[in-house]
């Protein structure tokens, strides 16, 4: 018979095609509850448990309509006992005592606060928590704390960076990048990836792919683009990484690592906004509240055209979709998929692709448009 994953993906495609675009409140409640438990598990170092809750939330998200009875739940894949229990609780009582207990926990609240800082991962957040730090004020006032440049920027722009980025803002930033890129290299192709490519109306950052139809022309472009934007005062933070695929990614490395080897910059842009737009003015009454700009996280990724379809697939997400797809290719197809290539471990060769459709074809899957990848 067909593999569970293949069934899951095709079941998932059908559901996504049928779903309504509007989120219904109870479903939201269920997903949020499962996501809270997933976060809590990851804060405790239980990655397996965390993933189980993510899977369950993802299944709910892909349903065409709201779940109302526990019987419907029993017919769904991907639900463990714990997730079922929590969902049942919410369906019956309107809330889950366990979830409420978690959100009240000081450790949970602090870890959530700290890991929402750009540049702060679980390990750092946990260390700070153990050291007795509890608030952003604690971090800002601490004398002995050694922050990286990235964390400093993350802390400085915390409020802005935790405000959603709108589609209009994302388009504006893509346009800015495109104009500057074209001034250095006409024909540069700029693509908005990430959640916005999946049709989301807002996101936590802007993911931009940069390529050029002529292989190799894209090399060195990013530092020029960043330099130009910086001289215009549009960059608050950047961290340029050189590409490393020449040494690190080769057919015989057979790397299953999810780390990318593209030239890239995880940066913070200074985006001009009309001061009456958004809740900037409403947030407080300090002189800062009249500021006419907003800090926005931007991921810029440069890819040679030969790797572009893989980079596009990898950077469109969602994270959970990518994880499931990579697991599927590995387990069911004995192929290693990452943002650079697809490697057939049986034939021992890299499979070249000219578009995303090629990749789905190699994997024996029906093509899924980006809007179906919101798992």
Q: Please say if 299 is a catalytic residue.
A: yes
CB 144, min distance to ligand 8DG, A? 29
Which of residues 8 and 200 has its CB atom nearest to ligand 8DG in the complex? 200
Q: Which residue has the tokens 């578009």?
A: 355
**Residue 78 Rama label (left phi>0; alpha psi -120 to 50; beta):** left
Closest by Cα among 94, 78, 93, 96 to 37: 96
CB 348, min distance to ligand 8DG, A? 24
What dihedral angle (degrees, nearest 10) is formed by the CA atoms of 5, 11, 12, 14?
150
CB 197, min distance to ligand 8DG, A? 8
Choose among Mn ion, ligand 8DG, none what residue 310 binds, the Cβ cut-off being 5 to 8 Å by kind.
none
Closest by Cα among 265, 224, 219, 221 to 245: 219
Q: Please say if 171 is a catalytic residue.
A: no
Give backbone dihedrals phi and psi of 247, rounded to 5 degrees, phi first.
Answer: -95, -40
Give yes or no for residue 322 binding Mn ion (CB under 5 A).
no
Count of residues that bind Mn ion according to CB under 5 A: 6
Give yes or no for residue 98 binding Mn ion (CB under 5 A).
no
Q: Please say if 207 is a catalytic residue.
A: yes
Q: Which residue is nearest to Mn ion (CB)?
A: 194
Choose among ligand 8DG, Mn ion, none what residue 319 binds, the Cβ cut-off being 5 to 8 Å by kind.
ligand 8DG
CB 374, min distance to Mn ion, A? 12
Longest dimension (CA), the chain: 65
Q: Note the residues at the interface with ligand 8DG (CB under 6 A).
A: 194-195, 200, 203-205, 207, 260, 314-315, 317-319, 322, 339
- Strands ordered across the beta sheet of 342-344: 335-337, 342-344, 349-351
Contacts of 251 by beta carbon, 8 Å cutoff, 6+ apart = 343, 348, 349, 350
Q: Answer whether 164's CB lies under 8 Å from 202's CB.
A: yes
Piece of the chain touching Mn ion by CB under 5 A; list 152-160, 194-202, 209-217, 242-250: 194-202
Choose among Mn ion, ligand 8DG, none what residue 261 binds, the Cβ cut-off being 5 to 8 Å by kind.
none
Considering 160, 207, 260, 372, which one is annotated as catalytic? 207
Tokens representing residue 118 in the block? 């750009």
Give backbone dihedrals phi and psi of 302, rounded to 5 degrees, phi first.
Answer: -105, 130
Give yes or no for residue 207 binding Mn ion (CB under 5 A).
yes
Q: Answer whether 114's CB lies under 8 Å from 128's CB.
A: yes
CA distance linking residue 270 with residue 173, whole number of Å: 10
CA distance linking residue 38 with residue 55, whole number of Å: 9
CA distance linking residue 186 with residue 208, whole number of Å: 17
Which of residues 43 and 262 has its CB atom nearest to ligand 8DG in the complex? 262
Choose among ligand 8DG, Mn ion, none what residue 322 binds, the Cβ cut-off being 5 to 8 Å by kind.
ligand 8DG
Choose among Mn ion, ligand 8DG, none what residue 260 binds, the Cβ cut-off being 5 to 8 Å by kind.
ligand 8DG
CB 165, min distance to ligand 8DG, A? 7
Choose among Mn ion, ligand 8DG, none what residue 138 binds, the Cβ cut-off being 5 to 8 Å by kind.
none
Sign for the pseudo-dihedral over CA of 239, 242, 247, 250: positive
CB 288, min distance to ligand 8DG, A? 25
Give yes or no for residue 299 binding Mn ion (CB under 5 A).
yes
For Mn ion, the binding residues (CB under 5 A) are: 194-195, 203, 205, 207, 299
Please give the positions annotated as active site.
205, 207, 299
């Amino acid at each position: 018979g067909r593999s569970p994953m293949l069934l899951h993906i095709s079941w998932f495609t059908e559901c996504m095609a049928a779903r309504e675009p509007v989120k219904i409140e109870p479903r939201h409640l269920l997903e949020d509850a499962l996501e809270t438990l997933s976060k809590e598990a990851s804060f405790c170092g239980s990655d397996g448990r965390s993933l189980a809750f993510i899977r369950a939330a993802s299944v709910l998200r892909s349903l065409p309509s709201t779940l109302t009875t526990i019987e419907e739940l029993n017919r769904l894949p991907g639900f463990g006992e714990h997730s079922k229990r929590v969902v049942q609780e919410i369906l019956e009582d309107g809330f889950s005592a366990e979830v409420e207990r978690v959100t009240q926990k000081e450790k949970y609240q602090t870890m959530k606060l700290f890991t929402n800082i750009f540049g702060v991962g679980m390990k750092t957040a946990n260390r700070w928590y153990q050291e007795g730090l509890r608030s952003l004020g604690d971090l800002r006032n601490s004398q002995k704390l050694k922050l990286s440049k990235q964390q400093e920027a993350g802390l400085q722009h915390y409020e802005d960076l935790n405000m959603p980025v709108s589609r209009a803002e994302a388009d504006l930033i893509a346009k800015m990048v495109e104009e500057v890129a074209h001034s250095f290299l006409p024909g540069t192709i700029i693509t908005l990836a990430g959640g916005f490519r999946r049709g989301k109306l807002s996101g936590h950052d802007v993911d931009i792919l940069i390529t050029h139809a002529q292989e190799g022309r894209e090399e060195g472009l990013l530092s020029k683009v960043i330099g130009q934007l910086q001289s215009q005062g549009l960059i608050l933070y950047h961290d340029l990484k050189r590409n490393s695929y020449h040494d690190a990614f080769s057919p015989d490395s057979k790397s299953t690592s999810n780390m990318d080897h593209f030239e890239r910059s995880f940066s913070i842009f200074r985006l001009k906004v009309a001061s009456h737009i958004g809740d900037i003015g409403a947030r407080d009454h300090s002189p800062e509240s009249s500021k006419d700009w907003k800090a926005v996280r931007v991921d810029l990724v440069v890819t040679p055209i030969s790797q572009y379809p893989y980079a596009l697939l990898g950077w469109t997400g969602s994270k959970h979709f990518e994880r499931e797809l990579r697991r599927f290719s590995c387990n069911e197809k004995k192929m290693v998929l990452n943002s650079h290539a697809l490697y057939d471990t049986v034939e021992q060769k890299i499979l070249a692709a000219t578009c995303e459709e090629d990749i789905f074809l190699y994997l024996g899957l029906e093509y899924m448009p980006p809007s179906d990848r919101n798992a």
